[in-house]
Structure 1
């Protein structure tokens, strides 16, 4: 059975710490110095900008609004448009050794969406894979609730010898995500529908039903049914490399 290291540590030293950890894992995995690793973590409040966002004329104004709403701006590891992480979300980062990473992009998207979808259905949610018209940071492998509210986004980064697939699942407080993106997306000239922002605990779905911890354990359970999961912590080499990469993923005022 395929073996995967599971890490649930959260790194909050700097706003870009979790992104830098993912970048370090990708680099070392590509060099066969780290095993396949799944990270599930609770992030600090950050707004992760994609490469296209960085080139926008009003990017500096978007950064100002990010700070104004209490989110530290960082640079995404994967592609896509600006996405929001906070303590009511669950970040995931899956680093996979692969000699042909480009050929397997779609299969990785399908697999991670399938596994998270199964996790949400096990918790009783009417979840689906697919883009909601007008959703933020749109993607065909997003996960939505009832075909109306986006609750999970995912992106990929590939290098020679490895791939990283990661994203965010929103459990609580979709309002703060909507609020910051209204201002930030206006500066980035992104057309979207703010009503598509969702969370697993939004009132329209009824009483509060879950927590970050419950969702994390549901995801772990599904992964354990498919893989040989070995719980562990990150090695010193990963943490040290990540610290040297933090600055490259940070955005200053």
Structure 2
């Protein structure tokens, strides 16, 4: 791991906000407003580094480019018919699948005076995930799995099968490094759903943007890869133990008063943007 990535994990204090058990009513737009809020408060120095965990039920998070597919409405109709909700996020990337078997983690910290390059944020998350699952003795690699959904240079995989993707959001001097971890369930079934979305939404038309050619078998959950059932709760315990082992103090927390006001504004912003992008 790069030295700066390690330094990012070694915060003197991590505030931990656990939203992994909020249930079906907790919507993905709320999560993106949360991370924007945490970026702004951490970036201003008014809040400590914050680690947030979260789970969303049957939700497809689309990227901006997904909303520009030539037959978007047909793709969205497919998702609706299969019982999935969807939103368009306010950061980069393409479609990902979130459900009750996917644990999401955000690490949010200040960029103040450190000139943190983008790879260091990715390296920090990669190091944390390796620590979380070190006891299995399997190599967790970071490189692009071309035929996965939302492919990127920091896809995490074991033997070429992707189980996680990392993204970053930078706002007002704060950085949020976000990951989804497929803890259990079928990675290939999740990938097949996204493959079908693109099949309906693109329909083979030539587009300016190149959408992924998804091979469902190139994706898996950690339960499938390790051959043992791992729950979201297992992931949470491993996350907290790993973060504590490589950093300083962990303190359970929630948004402070000033952050609650920020959150209301950011939530209103992401809702309006989502409506605008989807034309609804």
Verify same fold: TM over 0.5: yes
Q: Aligned-pair distance for 1:249?
A: 6.0
**Alpha-carbon distance in 1 for matches of 2:246, 2:40:** 25
1:1-253 correspondence runs (5 A) = 2=11, 3-10=13-20, 11=22, 12-99=25-112, 103-147=116-160, 149-173=161-185, 174-186=187-199, 187-188=201-202, 189-202=211-224, 206=227, 208-237=228-257, 238-244=259-265, 245=267, 247-248=271-272, 250=274
Q: Which runs of 5+ in 2 are unaligned?
A: 1-9, 203-210
Question: What is the RMSD computed on CA atoms of the aligned residues?
Answer: 2.5
Per the normalisation by structure 2, the TM-score is 0.79
Point out where structure 1 has 5 or more consecutive residues left out of the alignment.
none
Match of 1:60, SS state, is helix
Paired with 2:262 and 2:193, the residues of 1 have a C-alpha distance of 31
Higher gyration radius (CA):
2
Distance in 2 between residues matched to 1:240 and 1:14, nearest whole Å: 19
Q: Distance in 1 between matches of 2:28 and 2:244?
A: 30
- State the shift of 1:163 in Å: 0.9
1:122–1:40 Cα change, 3 Å: farther
CA distance in structure 1 between the aligned counterparts of 2:156 and 2:178, rounded to whole angstroms: 13
The answer for the alignment partner of 2:3 in structure 1 is none
Question: Could you report, residue by residue, the CA deviation over 1:63-110 in whole angstroms, capped at 9, with x for unpaired residues?
Answer: 222222222111224311111111001011111111368742111111
